[in-house]
Amino acid sequence: MNSIKLNVRQSMLDDNLLCMKMDQFLEQNDVLSQQKFKVITCVMEALGNVVEHTTCQLEDIIIILHCDSNMITIDLSDNSPFPPLNEEAACPSPLSLSGRGLWIIQQWMDQVKFQSSATGTHLKLSLLRHE
């Protein structure tokens, strides 16, 4: 299993470096374009949710991507208190200003686990690889 750990910084977002590093890692692991798009979009949605809905600073967020021949796994950890979420987000109305990101994550990922951790909150996303 190949892995990459990314410590989030504002400069990584400003320079689009976070997306480029994820894309490069997924490319090196021969992940299909459609799946790269899903992974990067879901990570950025999850990251946006942490920043928007918690007091967590970017520097306190860690993203780890794991890739093997069968599965892509994303671990996103932060130090925010664990907020309980609905099991399944409903598709928001077209005029809704929020809720779309969580719904997209739940629709595109094969498995979504959101749990409390010793240091705060841990989100684990899994996507089966398609050849």
What pLDDT score does 37 carry? 97
25's CB contacts (< 8 A; 6+ apart) are 2, 4, 65, 67
What pLDDT score does 88 carry? 64
Q: Provide the whole-model pTM.
A: 0.89
- pLDDT tens for 27-70 read 999 999 999 999 999 999 999 988 888 888 888 999 999 999 99
57's CB contacts (< 8 A; 6+ apart) are none
Please report the domains of the chain, with CATH numbers, ordered by start residue.
2-90+97-128 (3.30.565.10)
Burial class (CB in 10 A: 0-12, 13-18, 19+), 45: middle
